[in-house]
């Protein structure tokens, strides 16, 4: 917490406006939309809920296909299954580790010939770095397929000077406890399409029709954010630029301290934008370094320091067995060799030095 959050939380308590909704929710939506450059925003209980509502509005249903980045967390793909549709997973490219535009183009061309284009594309911006949005959006537009940007991990990043999440039909962000700003749990759906946001807002509030009694003409969900959590979000949002700066400082400390080690490489920063370094991620070549990614993880764990492998690609997950996957070698290689180092903004230099010392001792 930055310290600014308590002002807004106290206002919620003083007004006795705790939930549902309230002035903090309305203000958080307006302030967030202004921050990322979207026309409209909807505060929700989770980023996953935002993806789900976007898919519903786009008419995704049983038997449909939705293309999803394979190197991501399961929450990017789960809402596709909620709707009875099937995800089709696309491999990463090495410049940004995000969805490969060439593979996407090949896949859509093939599916167009087969007469079964997907209903949507979910593009994930991974670990604080944007994908090559212009190329991917142009490919989607060629086939009139809506693009949903999963920017859960990339708030504060830039693509050619603009925030991710505002290029496609809809963008989603997460405020889970591990994100660059947090409301403890929560998310945001953004779009320049007023109708999409209005429909999602109705669905997120149990889809109650405008009537003096409770009437429902479609299935709804309890997905709205409380006034208290929105107050936390307002304070956190004011600290976003400081968080990005600190994340990048932490990355630079790691890079200076470990960059000379053979076999240790860092997630690249793509030339088209600003990487927030939400997490500092390394890859380990065991033949050059002398130890594996797992050796390093276990050595850190032995000192009560948590690190994690990269996301296990979705096409390797048991729950998605049988789903179509295009490529996969890049994502699988990154998963096998990649490690996320401790990256919290509260870390001190001595904390970083401790992590670095353990890794360097393994040479």
For position 288, which CATH number holds?
3.90.1150.10
CA–CA distance, 132 with 309 (Å, rounded to integer)? 24
Q: Which of 260, 12, 280, 37 is nearest to 164 (CA)?
A: 37
292 and 286 Cβ atoms separated by less than 8 Å: yes
> Domain of 333?
240-360
Looking at the structure, do residues 203 and 254 belong to the same domain, yes or no?
A: no
Q: Give the Cα separation of 23 and 6 in Å (integer).
A: 15
Q: What is the spatial distance between Cα 122 and Cα 262, in angstroms, rounded to a whole number?
A: 36
A 10 A CB-CB count for 83 gives 18
Phi, psi of 46 (to 5 degrees): -165, 160
Let me know whether 112 and 158 are in one domain. Answer: yes
Residue 297 · residue 339 · CB < 8 Å: yes
What was the pLDDT predicted at 242? 96
- In the numeric block, the tokens 């709804």 are attached to 220
Q: Which of 221, 238, 255 is the last residue of a domain?
A: 238
Task: Quote the CA–CA distance of 227 and 187 in Å, as a whole number.
Answer: 13
- Tell me the C-alpha distance between 302 and 86, whole Å: 40
Q: What is the reported pLDDT for 363? A: 80
Q: How far apart are CA 29 and CA 16, in angstroms?
A: 20
230 and 259 share a domain?
no
Let me know: does 187 contact 76? Beta carbons within 8 Å.
no
Q: Provide DSSP, 276-324.
A: --SSEEEEE-HHHHSS-HHHHHHHHHHTT---EEPPPPGGGSGGGTT--
Q: Calculate the alpha carbon distances from 91 to 67, 172, 197, 292, 315 in Å.
A: 11, 21, 30, 23, 9
98 & 246 share domain: no
What is the rounded distance in angstroms from the CA atom of residue 227 to the CA atom of residue 28?
A: 9
Q: Are 153 and 278 in contact (CB under 8 A)?
A: yes
Torsion of CA 308, 52, 122, 319, to 10 degrees: 50
The per-residue pLDDT string of the chain (363 residues; one tens digit each, 9 = 90 and over) reads 888 899 999 999 999 888 778 999 999 999 999 999 999 999 999 999 999 999 999 999 999 999 999 999 999 999 999 999 999 999 999 999 999 999 999 999 999 999 999 999 999 999 999 999 999 999 999 999 999 999 999 999 999 999 999 999 999 999 999 999 999 999 999 999 999 999 999 999 999 999 999 999 999 999 999 999 999 999 999 999 999 999 999 999 999 999 999 999 999 999 999 999 999 999 999 999 999 999 999 999 999 999 999 999 999 999 999 999 999 999 999 999 999 999 999 999 999 999 999 999 998
Domain boundary among 205, 238, 271: 238
Q: What is the pLDDT of residues 303-322, one digit of tens each?
A: 999 999 999 999 999 999 99
Query: What's the predicted TM-score (pTM) here?
Result: 0.95
Q: Are residues 154 and 258 in the same domain?
A: no
Which residues does 166 contact at the CB level (< 8 Å), separation at least 6? 36, 37, 38, 149, 190, 192
Q: Residues 30, 31, 36, CA angle at the centre, nearest 5°?
A: 100
Q: Is there a single domain that holds both residue 100 and residue 226?
A: yes
Indicate the residue among 238, 266, 299 that finishes a domain: 238
The structure tokens listed for 328 are: 């996969």
What is the pairing mode between strands 147-150 and 120-124? Answer: parallel
Are 140 and 65 found together in one domain?
yes
| Same-domain status, 221 and 328 | no
Determine the pLDDT at residue 3: 85
In the chain, the N- to C-terminal Cα span, in Å, equals: 37
Query: Rounded to a whole number, what is the largest CA-CA distance in the chain?
Result: 71
Query: Residue 271: is it exposed, middle or buried by C-beta count within 10 angstroms (0-12/13-18/19+)?
Result: exposed
Number of domains in the chain: 2
List the CATH number of the domain containing 211: 3.40.640.10
* Distances from the Cα of 44 to the Cα of 233, 254, 273, 345, angstroms: 11, 35, 27, 25
Does 43 lie in the same domain as 163? yes
Q: Are residues 33 and 143 in the same domain?
A: yes
Q: Does residue 149 share a domain with residue 268?
A: no
Both 68 and 127 in one domain: the answer is yes
């Amino acid at each position: 917490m930055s310290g600014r959050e308590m002002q807004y939380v106290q206002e919620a308590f003083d007004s006795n406006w705790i939930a549902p909704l309230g002035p903090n929710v309305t203000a958080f939506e307006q302030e967030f939309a202004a921050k990322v450059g979207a026309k409209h925003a909807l505060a929700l209980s989770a980023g996953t809920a935002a993806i789900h509502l976007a898919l519903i509005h786009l008419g995704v249903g049983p038997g449909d296909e939705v293309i999803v980045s394979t190197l991501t967390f399961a929450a990017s793909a789960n809402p596709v299954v909620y709707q009875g549709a099937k995800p089709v997973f696309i491999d990463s490219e090495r410049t940004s580790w995000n969805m490969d535009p060439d593979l996407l183009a090949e896949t859509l061309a093939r599916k167009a010939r087969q007469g079964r284009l997907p209903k949507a594309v979910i593009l994930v911006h991974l670990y604080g770095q944007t994908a090559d949005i212009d190329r991917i959006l142009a490919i989607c537009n060629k086939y009139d397929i809506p693009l949903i940007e999963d920017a859960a991990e990339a708030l504060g990043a830039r693509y050619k000077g603009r925030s991710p999440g505002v290029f496609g039909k809809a963008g989603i962000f997460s405020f889970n406890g591990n994100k660059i700003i947090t409301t403890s749990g929560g998310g945001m759906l953004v779009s320049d399409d007023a109708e999409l946001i209005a429909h999602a807002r109705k669905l997120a509030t149990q889809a109650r029709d405008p009537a003096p009694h409770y009437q429902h003409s479609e299935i709804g969900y309890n997905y709205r954010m409380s006034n208290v959590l929105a107050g936390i979000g307002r304070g956190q949002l004011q600290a976003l630029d400081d968080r990005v700066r600190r994340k990048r400082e932490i990355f630079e400390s790691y890079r200076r301290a470990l960059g000379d080690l053979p076999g240790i490489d860092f997630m690249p920063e793509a030339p088209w934008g600003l990487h927030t370094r939400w997490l500092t991620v390394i890859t380990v070549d065991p033949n050059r370094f002398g130890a594996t990614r797992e050796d390093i993880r276990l050595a850190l764990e032995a000192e009560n320091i948590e690190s994690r492998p990269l996301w296990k690609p979705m096409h390797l997950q048991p729950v998605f067995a049988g789903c179509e996957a295009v490529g996969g070698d890049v994502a699988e290689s990154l998963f096998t060799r990649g490690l996320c180092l401790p990256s919290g903004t509260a870390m001190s230099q001595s904390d970083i030095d401790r992590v670095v010392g353990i890794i360097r001792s393994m040479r």
